[in-house]
């Protein structure tokens, strides 16, 4: 490797060159007169730029827009900057409306503010409603929504309407108010948001249309509509409200689907007719005249801890590709901002009322065609709490024949218990034979345990339907009864200085009353069933122990689960169980005659009883199992 040494001659050369450069700079420095002239020229340039910035709008009209290209011919520096940023839409930035401002319009039901920048709604207040704390209901406020159209231009720009200024105009057409927000390329070329507001309506016609932009919007790129909304808290219990805050939509010719209410979720759907950002009792809905071909929908849960996350529930988002027709936009839409009230939504058609969670299948059918009409009728002339009680009495009266069948089956099993005990004792070493003889006796007597289970199963659809009905009943919102200030929320009688997991920081009274009623009802029914039940296999908890646990577990579960639920629902369960206890006492003591039932059983036992297919199949299976068991025992011997 070559040994490198310091080259003294090179160092001397670099030093001489540096000295020569310094001498030349000193020799060519400007004189004081030249410095003064440069400073004066600089000041004149600054003044000229200030004047150009002040007069930019006047300059734009002095140098008019070229109709074919939509560009602004101006020599001002700021005008050039606007032109470079917005291209053809730079014209809109030169109009008097090109500033932060709003357009305020009111109807009998809505108080609306439209933002000049972006052209969409800045505030939506529902004039007839307040929240749990008497604060006006705002569905849109404090930048909780974003409505934007993203598109490409023929001069290779990507623009967003949220960044551009619209020119507002407000006109009257009879009783209707028309708000037009135009994003202009020239006086005759524009993109328009057109809102038609009706005086007594929560739904407004909304259209997105363009004129003369076929050579401005790039048709080879996607034009996307993005709409986001973050739900403000409106209910006393944010966790309860959040449970019923959900993105719902109709697609594929009438199918109703929902995103998850519990966590983050997203979905891409085809042929979407409408989408609803439901905030429990209030909704923001976008309806399409013709269905969107595709829509990407998402929801983000913002409420994880009720003690910390107290302002917002969820963020909804929809991204929808828009179609161009001959290079122009022409979308007919509608916007709904109002109560999630079945009566209100049903008036608009398109199944908007299906956004309300009334349950699927038979449960929704029971609510739509029985409970909703019945409650609407009763509440039209009765206070809401009394209407709930009367409806409960009517439902229990209609279901009383089911309870009668259930108690009759229990009475028959009670009468047969001595004979069943004899069979179990006789075949205590042969469980399969004991089961066969038990089934044969019950079949002859007409006292199958299934006949007692089926009536209970019949009541389940009614139970679940009501569980869906009360949290969705808008009519109960802020209606008081006794100590409950709001039947759609919990009825706190005491506030706790701490929070109990799964229970809350308050004590509700109706869930306590309902839990006590459930306890006594189960004590009277389940205790009797447990006494008549036979033990299961060794090593397994017998039915008596399981039922004993259920007597205590069910009321405790009711107490914890319903503490934050609608007090109207707890009121129903309290009254329902009290009536059930009363019906049971009347049936057992005044309707059912055990001597007559015993006589009927003896008559039934004397008659030849033909087994149905199910019973025959069960008997065959049990005989086969018994034969296999005996064969195994023989092989072991």
> SS in 3 state form for 431-477?
HHHHHHHHHHHHHHHCCCCHHHHHHHHHHHHHHHHHHHHHHHCHHHC
Q: What is the three-class DSSP state of 92? A: helix
Q: What confidence category does residue 525 fall into, taking pLDDT thresholds of 50, 70 and 90?
A: confident
Q: How far is CA 6 from CA 2, 10, 11, 12, 393, in A?
A: 13, 9, 9, 12, 110
Report the range of poorest mean pLDDT among 201-215, 496-510, 579-593.
579-593
- Beta-bridge mates of residue 148: 226
Backbone phi, psi, residue 382, to 5°: -120, 150
Residues 575-629 have pLDDT tens digits of 988 988 888 787 777 766 656 666 666 666 555 555 556 556 666 665 666 666 6
In this prediction, residue 398 carries a pLDDT of 81
Closest CA to 316 of 203, 225, 206, 227: 227
In this prediction, residue 535 carries a pLDDT of 47
Residue predicted with more confidence, 92 or 448: 92
What is the distance between the alpha carbons of residues 588 and 116, in angstroms, rounded to a whole number?
Answer: 73
Q: What is the three-class DSSP state of 144? A: coil
Q: What confidence category does residue 446 fall into, taking pLDDT thresholds of 50, 70 and 90?
A: low
Q: How far is CA 266 from CA 241, 257, 295, 488, in A?
A: 21, 12, 11, 29
Identify the sign of the CA torsion 47, 48, 52, 58. Answer: positive
CB 88 within 8 A of CB 69: yes
Q: What is the three-class DSSP state of 228? A: strand
- Angle at the Cα of 342 from the Cα atoms of 340 and 344, rounded to 5 degrees: 80
In this prediction, residue 397 carries a pLDDT of 83
Closest CA to 122 of 177, 195, 35: 195
Average pLDDT of the chain is 79
CB 556 within 8 A of CB 514: no
Q: What confidence category does residue 557 fall into, taking pLDDT thresholds of 50, 70 and 90?
A: confident
The 8 Å CB, 24+ separation contacts for 4-11 are none
Q: Is the pLDDT of residue 61 over 50?
A: no
What is the distance between the alpha carbons of residues 106 and 117, in angstroms, rounded to a whole number?
Answer: 20
In this prediction, residue 526 carries a pLDDT of 65
Percent of the chain with pLDDT over 70: 68
- Beta-bridge mates of residue 251: 255, 272
DSSP letter string, 563-620: TTS-HHHHHHHHHHHHHHHHHHHHIIIII--HHHHHHHHHHHHHS-----HHHHHHHH
- Beta-bridge mates of residue 152: 158
Percent of the chain with pLDDT over 90: 33
Dihedral angle at the C-alpha atoms of 591, 595, 600, 602, nearest 10 degrees?
A: 160
Closest CA to 182 of 88, 241, 246, 116: 116
Please give the structure tokens belonging to residue 309: 């996350």
In this prediction, residue 38 carries a pLDDT of 56
Residue predicted with more confidence, 400 or 351: 351
What is the distance between the alpha carbons of residues 181 and 160, in angstroms, rounded to a whole number?
Answer: 15
Closest CA to 76 of 61, 60, 95: 60
For the chain, how are helix, strand and coil distributed in percent, rounded to 5?
45, 25, 25
Q: What confidence category does residue 137 fall into, taking pLDDT thresholds of 50, 70 and 90?
A: very high
Question: Rounded to an integer, what is the distance from CA 186 to the centroid of its chain?
Answer: 42
Element (H, E) at 38: helix 32-54
Residues 259-313 have pLDDT tens digits of 988 889 999 999 999 999 999 999 999 999 999 999 999 999 998 877 787 889 9
What is the distance between the alpha carbons of residues 257 and 272, in angstroms, rounded to a whole number?
Answer: 10
Report the range of poorest mean pLDDT among 50-59, 128-137, 245-254, 492-501.
50-59
Residues 388-433 have pLDDT tens digits of 999 999 988 887 777 677 677 666 667 767 777 777 776 666 666 6
Q: What is the three-class DSSP state of 56? A: helix
Element (H, E) at 240: helix 238-243
Residue predicted with more confidence, 243 or 432: 243
Q: What is the three-class DSSP state of 37? A: helix
Q: Is the pLDDT of residue 193 over 80?
A: yes
Residues 6 or more apart whose CB falls under 8 angstroms from that of 15 comprise: none
Domains and CATH numbers, the chain: 54-94 (no CATH), 102-357 (2.70.98.90), 366-606 (no CATH)
Report the range of poorest mean pLDDT among 33-37, 406-410, 447-451, 551-555.
33-37
Please give the structure tokens belonging to residue 262: 């519990």
Q: Is the pLDDT of residue 547 over 70?
A: no
Element (H, E) at 622: helix 613-636
In this prediction, residue 384 carries a pLDDT of 93
What is the distance between the alpha carbons of residues 496 and 506, in angstroms, rounded to a whole number?
Answer: 5
In this prediction, residue 551 carries a pLDDT of 76
Q: Is the pLDDT of residue 539 over 60?
A: no
In this prediction, residue 633 carries a pLDDT of 63
CB 177 within 8 A of CB 197: yes
Q: What confidence category does residue 54 fall into, taking pLDDT thresholds of 50, 70 and 90?
A: very low
Residue predicted with more confidence, 358 or 47: 358
DSSP state of 371: I
What is the distance between the alpha carbons of residues 209 and 170, in angstroms, rounded to a whole number?
Answer: 17
Element (H, E) at 379: helix 372-379
Report the range of poorest mean pLDDT among 22-26, 39-43, 444-448.
22-26
- Angle at the Cα of 62 from the Cα atoms of 56 and 63, rounded to 5 degrees: 90
What is the distance between the alpha carbons of residues 143 and 114, in angstroms, rounded to a whole number?
Answer: 12
pTM of the model: 0.75
In this prediction, residue 597 carries a pLDDT of 61
- Beta-bridge mates of residue 500: 504
Residues 100-118 have pLDDT tens digits of 789 999 999 999 999 999 9
Q: Is the pLDDT of residue 26 over 70?
A: no
Closest CA to 533 of 523, 543, 541: 543
Identify the sign of the CA torsion 509, 510, 515, 521. Answer: positive
CB 222 within 8 A of CB 231: no
């Amino acid at each position: 490797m070559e040994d490198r040494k310091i080259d003294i001659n090179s160092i001397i050369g670099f030093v001489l060159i540096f000295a020569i450069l310094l001498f030349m700079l000193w020799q060519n420095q400007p004189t004081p007169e030249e410095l003064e002239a440069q400073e004066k020229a600089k000041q004149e340039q600054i003044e000229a730029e200030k004047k150009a910035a002040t007069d930019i709008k006047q300059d734009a009209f002095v140098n008019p827009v070229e109709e074919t290209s939509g560009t602004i011919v101006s020599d001002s520096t700021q005008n050039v900057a606007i032109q470079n940023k917005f291209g053809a839409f730079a014209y809109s930035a030169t109009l008097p409306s090109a500033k932060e401002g709003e357009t305020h319009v009111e109807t009998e039901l809505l108080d609306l503010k439209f933002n000049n920048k972006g052209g969409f709604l800045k505030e939506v207040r529902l004039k007839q409603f307040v929240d749990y704390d008497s604060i006006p209901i705002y569905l849109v406020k404090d930048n909780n929504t974003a409505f934007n159209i993203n598109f490409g231009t023929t001069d290779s720009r990507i623009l967003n309407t949220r960044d551009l200024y619209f020119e507002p105009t407000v006109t009257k057409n009879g009783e209707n108010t028309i708000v037009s927000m135009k994003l202009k390329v020239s006086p005759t070329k524009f993109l328009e948001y057109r809102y038609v507001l009706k005086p007594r309506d929560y739904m407004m016609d909304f259209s997105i249309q363009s004129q003369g932009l076929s050579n401005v919007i790039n048709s080879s790129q996607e034009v996307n509509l993005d709409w986001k909304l973050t739900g403000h808290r409106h209910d006393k219990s944010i966790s309860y409200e959040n449970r019923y805050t959900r993105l719902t939509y109709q697609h594929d010719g009438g199918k109703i689907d929902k995103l998850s209410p519990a966590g983050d979720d997203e979905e891409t759907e085809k042929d979407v007719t409408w989408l609803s950002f439901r905030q429990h009792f209030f909704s923001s809905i976008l309806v399409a005249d013709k269905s969107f071909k595709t829509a990407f929908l998402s929801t983000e849960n913002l409420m994880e801890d009720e003690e910390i996350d107290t302002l917002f529930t969820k963020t909804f988002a929809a991204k929808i590709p828009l179609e161009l027709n001959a290079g122009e936009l022409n979308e007919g839409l509608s916007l709904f901002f109002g109560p999630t009230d079945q009566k209100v939504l049903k008036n608009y058609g398109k199944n908007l009322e299906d956004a309300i969670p009334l349950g699927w299948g038979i449960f929704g059918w029971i609510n739509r065609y029985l409970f909703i009409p019945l409650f609407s009728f009763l509440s039209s002339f009765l206070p809401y709490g009394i209407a709930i009680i009367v409806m409960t009495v009517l439902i229990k009266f209609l279901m009383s024949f089911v309870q009668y069948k259930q108690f009759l089956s229990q009475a028959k099993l009670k009468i047969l218990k001595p004979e069943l005990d004899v069979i179990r004792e006789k075949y205590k070493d042969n469980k399969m034979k004991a089961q066969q003889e038990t089934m044969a006796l019950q079949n002859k007597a007409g006292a199958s345990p299934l006949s007692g289970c089926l009536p209970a199963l019949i009541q389940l659809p009614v139970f679940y339907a009501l569980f869906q009905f009360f949290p969705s009943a808008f009519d109960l919102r802020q209606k008081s009864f006794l100590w409950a200030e709001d039947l759609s929320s919990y009825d706190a009688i005491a506030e706790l200085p701490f929070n109990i997991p799964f229970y809350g920081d308050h004590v509700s009274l109706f869930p306590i009353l309902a839990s006590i009623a459930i306890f006594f009802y189960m004590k009277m029914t389940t205790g009797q069933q447990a006494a008549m039940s036979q033990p299961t296999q060794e090593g397994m908890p017998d039915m008596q122990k399981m039922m004993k646990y259920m007597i205590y577990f069910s009321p405790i579960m009711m107490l914890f689960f319903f503490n934050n639920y609608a007090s109207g629902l707890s009121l129903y369960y309290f009254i329902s169980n009290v009536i059930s206890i009363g019906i049971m006492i009347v049936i057992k003591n005044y309707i059912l005659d055990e001597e007559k039932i015993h006589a009927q059983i003896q008559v039934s036992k004397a008659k030849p009883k033909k087994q149905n297919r199910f019973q025959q199949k069960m008997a065959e299976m049990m005989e086969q199992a018994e034969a296999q068991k005996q064969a195994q025992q023989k092989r072991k011997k």
